[in-house]
């Protein structure tokens, strides 16, 4: 009698999520209130290994607060580019302490890459795309390694590049969740007031969208809230959300961006 065929070990290399999964989730949660959606996602374990990526900018407290109410143990990832305002790091600690979120991960650029690509620390001044690539995009890629999904605080109203932002999308096989995609500024302000959330100290000085210190300036009355980012450059995004940026492959040494 022939022996049964040996069962082969197979490595499942399929992505955790597909666009069909994102489409199904968008359909399921259409019109569902944000907090209820978040509670369901965690109650039904629909996200796999997940984390929230936060810039700790002027609006970051809202999403962090919502997640703290649902699952305060969710990992909070902060990409420290080593060019941040000191006020941002102080706000990060203050806000997470206030919300009782203690699972904190700080990711920094690879020092060998910095030594090779930005020895003077001034790459932001002549190649902001390349600077973002080595100080934001690559560190975040490392931070997302092992995650099935992650939360983003993007909102559709913030800029034209974020219009029609879905709640769920797929990027590199991971589910990206944008719980605040359809929130407007009035919604955010009302939430801040209702839940007594601390504000970023630079907001009162006119910094409405806060990134790295060298590339962030005060927003003038009537300007788009993100007008203070990369002022004077044909650039509106850092690239961590997969957006097309101006010239990410240009490098003074004709080498890859990272």
Q: Cα–Cα distance between 14 and 5 in angstroms, integer?
A: 25
**131, 132, 215, 238: which one is catalytic?**
238
Q: Cα–Cα distance between 209 and 225 in angstroms, integer?
A: 6
Residue appearing with tokens 């944000």? 34
Q: Cα–Cα distance between 106 and 65 in angstroms, integer?
A: 19
Torsion of CA 63, 50, 167, 132, to 10 degrees: 80
Task: Write out the E strands in 89-221.
Answer: 104-107, 149-151, 168-171, 174-177
Question: Is residue 212 annotated as a catalytic residue, yes or no?
Answer: no
Label the pairing between strands 168-171 and 174-177.
antiparallel
Contact 79, 53 (CB under 8 A): yes
Quick one: 14 exposed, middle or buried, by C-beta within 10 A (0-12, 13-18, 19+)?
exposed
Count of residues in the chain: 258
- C-alpha pair distances (Å), 112 with each of 66, 68, 179, 188, 258: 37, 35, 36, 40, 11
96-110: burial string, b at 16+ Cβ within 10 Å, e else: bebbebeeeeebebe
Q: Which residues are catalytic?
A: 238
């Amino acid at each position: 009698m022939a022996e049964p065929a040996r069962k082969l070990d197979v490595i499942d290399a399929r992505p955790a999520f597909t666009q069909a999964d994102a489409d199904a989730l968008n359909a399921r949660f259409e019109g569902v209130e944000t907090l209820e959606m978040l509670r369901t996602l965690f109650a039904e374990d629909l996200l796999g290994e997940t984390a929230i990526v936060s810039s700790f900018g002027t609006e970051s407290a809202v999403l962090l607060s919502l997640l703290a109410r649902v699952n305060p143990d969710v990992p909070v990832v902060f990409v420290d580019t080593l060019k941040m305002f000191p006020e941002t790091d102080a706000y990060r600690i203050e806000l997470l302490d206030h919300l009782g979120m203690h699972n904190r991960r700080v990711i920094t650029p690879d020092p060998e890459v910095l030594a090779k690509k930005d020895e003077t620390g001034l790459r932001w001044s002549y190649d902001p795309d390349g600077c973002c690539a080595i100080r934001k995009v690559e560190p975040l890629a490392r931070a997302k390694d092992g995650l099935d999904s992650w939360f983003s605080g993007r909102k559709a109203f913030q800029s034209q590049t974020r219009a029609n932002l879905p709640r769920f999308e797929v990027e590199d096989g991971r589910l990206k969740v944008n719980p605040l995609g359809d929130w407007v500024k009035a919604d955010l302000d009302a939430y801040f007031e209702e839940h007594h959330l601390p504000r970023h100290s630079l907001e009162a000085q006119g910094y409405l969208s806060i990134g790295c210190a060298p590339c962030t300036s005060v927003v003038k009355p009537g300007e788009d809230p993100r007008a203070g980012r990369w002022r004077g450059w044909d650039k509106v995004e850092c690239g961590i959300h997969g957006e097309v940026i101006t010239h990410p492959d240009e490098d003074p040494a004709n080498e890859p961006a990272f």
